[in-house]
């Protein structure tokens, strides 16, 4: 079969029913985002919590793009007692104190930076990051730790609207955590 367009003559194969034979590739959205330099990972490195306090916070700084959490991977680096973590959406957050700023790594090796927003982990166990308004918070996921070196691997797909907040909240006893949060930006 011959096709004419864009000023040149092209050919395609067809099957016995007259349908064109095509080759197509489908790439996942997070793959495309990584290719465009819009995918990131936020490191959580041996962060201690004492009781009910926020372990990590991401505030989407884009005005037009959603931030999509693709993966939360945490392990209990130092286990003291049974506790549970909550993944929360919908809190209001304006950073004042008690956190350590984190610069997310771009998943594309030839690009530096590019993540837009506020990214924090707790600085001092026993003192929660301020300021939070949790009245509209929704618990999007929960994991209970009952043993040392347990791991929480969660492929999520949680969407954080422009200006919105995602957080990990320790709602229980003392432990120390390490891991990462992976995310990408997409048009809302």
Query: What is the chain's mean pLDDT, rounded?
Result: 83
Q: Enumerate residues 6+ apart whose C-beta is below 8 A from 179.
A: 44, 72, 73, 74, 75, 152
Overall pTM surpassing 0.75 (yes/no): yes
Give the per-residue pLDDT at 182.
93
Look at 64 and 21; give whichever has higher pLDDT: 64
**Tokens 């919105």 belong to residue:** 164
Maximum average pLDDT range among 3-7, 24-28, 80-84:
80-84
All structural domains of the chain with their residue ranges: 40-187
Give the per-residue pLDDT at 31.
62
DSSP H or E run through 77: strand 65-79
């Amino acid at each position: 079969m011959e096709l004419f367009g864009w000023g040149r003559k092209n050919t395609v194969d067809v099957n016995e029913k007259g349908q064109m034979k095509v080759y197509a590739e489908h790439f996942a959205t997070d793959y495309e985002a990584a290719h465009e330099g819009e995918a990131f990972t936020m490191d959580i490195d041996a962060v201690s919590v004492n009781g009910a306090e926020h372990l990590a916070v991401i505030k989407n700084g884009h005005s037009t793009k959603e931030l999509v959490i693709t993966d939360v991977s945490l392990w209990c680096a130092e286990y003291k007692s049974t506790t549970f973590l909550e993944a929360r959406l919908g809190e209001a957050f304006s950073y004042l104190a008690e956190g350590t700023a984190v610069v997310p790594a771009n998943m594309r090796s030839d690009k530096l930076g590019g993540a837009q927003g506020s990214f924090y982990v707790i600085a001092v166990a026993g003192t929660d990051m301020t300021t939070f308004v949790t009245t509209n918070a929704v618990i999007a996921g929960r994991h209970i730790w009952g043993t040392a070196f347990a791991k929480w691997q969660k492929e999520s797909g949680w969407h954080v609207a422009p200006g919105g907040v995602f957080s990990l909240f320790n709602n229980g006893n003392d432990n120390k955590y390490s891991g990462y949060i992976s995310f990408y930006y997409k048009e809302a």
